[in-house]
A and B are shown apart, each in its own frame.
Chain A
Amino acid sequence: MDGALRQDFINIVKDFTSMASIYLSDDVEKAIRTIAEEETFPMAKTMYDCILKDLSLAAELHRPICQDTGVIQYFADVGTGFPYMDDIGDVLRTAAIAATLETPLRPNVVEPLGEHNTGNNAGYGAPYIEYDLVPNSTDLRLRMYMAGGGCSLPGRSKVLMPLEGVEGVKNFVYRTIVDWGVNACPPLCIGIGLGTCAATSAMLSKKALLRPIGTHSEYPEVAKLEDEIRDGLNSIGIAPLGFGGSRSVLSVNIEAAAHHPATLGVGITTGCWATRRGEIVIHKDLSYDIISHTRSMEA
């Protein structure tokens, strides 16, 4: 790839990453403003006031909303006709480092076992990159997620006995959130995966979390379960921030896959009230469309 073009590609991803640390995506921002407006508990209202003040100060001062800017994760849906396929990995890594130093983001990444902080959010296997191929496309659809510490802690995956059924799935989710959700900065975005084994259920739960708030599973029974679990979690009322109020979650998204009859895998991935994710489509001429945020990256 030509040096100037490569630099353009890096800058697009760098600015996109940086932007998503400072501004919430449109769906998350709308959800947090709505829940804040509808809250009636006095202590909870004080907390939401602080959250909304934080959003406006972050925008005004151009600083990350939360100091924990996570470990950067990229999910790249690569069109088989995208001309720079060979460069994507290196470009994403370079962009993550540049975004870390320029924004600045918190250098979180520590090397496996030795715990040495690399100082720039790159390390062995970091930033985390996952690829999917998209046939008959010349675009790169890139989703970015900042996996914070507190909000990653509740994550788990388990294979249930099929006889435990939907009730087993619900109980697993409720138990996890009551035990671990309080410290994950609720109201939470919840991603649930239903599959065969622990690994695929976990992966599906991440996909669910990446799906915008307000979208539903295409599978009608699963979509119904999304609403049931959302209502169930809200009735526990751990938000905001564990102080307690009238809700617990911003969203419950489920991704399911047909599974083995002898297993019922369930995974859960949680995002905090400041779930920072973004979606951008980069075309083959390196023009781009930001999908997740209506704002432009220069602002």
Chain B
Amino acid sequence: MKKILTTPISYDQIKDLNIGDTVYLTGILATCRDSGHRRVVKEGRLPERTSLKEGAIFHAGPIVGKDENGKQYMVSIGPTTSRRMESAEAEFIEKTGIRLVIGKGGMVDKTAAACREFGAIHCAYPGGCAVVAAQEVEEITDVEWMDFGMPEAFWVMKVKEFGPLVVSIDTKGNNLFENNKKIYEERLKKLG
């Protein structure tokens, strides 16, 4: 059976999840990547209309289209490399109170420590599967920070069973991709 998280995400929903588990998200999801993290962490500004407390963000820069009625919709939205946000994510989690960070690949020590301390998880969405992800978006409900341009803006959307999301950092601070990296290093040694 599918394990589905719903926003607002209580600590109880995520506390027993382990790295490697697959979950899905239903509720509100907002995109936030390099510029958005800079704004929150360096400039100390939060989005005006959307609270991130117990919420979820997606490291992603979408292609947004307009339908025949002029309403915006997600054309294609896959994850971007989470590692780029590593320097800001711990503080972002602390400042916003988000519980779920979705992106591509893993993150490292500072983020893992923040996940443990503040009760959050990082999940990886399969990279490049952007039309699958767009089809799991029911509607775009808001957008802020359009001054960054389309890829970097803060897009707020309603999602249904958004996934598969593979838990890459759990609330204990375990780290799937860092564990994998050790395996790859071992295999690399054998080649040498």
Contacts and interface: CB of A to CB of B under 8 A. Distances in A.
B131 A57 contact: yes
Contacts of A290: none
Interface string A23-65: 0000000000000000000010011001101100110010111
For the complex, would chain B's binding face be called helix, strand, loop or mixed by DSSP majority? mixed
A51 B129 contact: yes
A220 to B, nearest CB: 23
A25 to B, nearest CB: 15
B130 A54 contact: yes
Interface string A191-205: 000000000000000
A58 B131 contact: yes
Interface string A135-155: 000000000000001100100
Nearest to A51: B129
A51 B128 contact: yes
Contacts, number: 147
Interface stretch (A1-9, A234-242, A256-264): A234-242
Contact of A235 (B131, B151, B191): B191
Contacts of A105: 63
A67 B130 contact: yes
A108 B151 contact: yes
A242 B151 CA distance: 24
A47 B129 CA distance: 9
B105 A273 contact: no
Interface residues of A, number: 49
A69 B62 CA distance: 10
B47 interface: no
Nearest to B75: A63
A175 B185 CA distance: 9
- Residue with the greatest number of chain B CB neighbours at <10 A, chosen from A153, A170, A243: A243
Contact of A63 (B131, B148, B149, B176): B131
Closest 7 CB pairs of A and B: A117-B149, A183-B105, A67-B76, A185-B127, A67-B130, A54-B129, A57-B131
Interface of B: 20, 22, 60-63, 65, 75-78, 80-81, 83, 104-106, 124, 126-132, 134-135, 148-152, 164, 166, 176-177, 180-181, 183-185, 187-188, 190-192
17 contacts: A54-B130, A57-B131, A63-B134, A65-B128, A66-B78, A67-B75, A67-B76, A68-B80, A117-B150, A175-B188, A178-B185, A182-B106, A182-B177, A232-B191, A243-B166, A244-B183, A272-B127
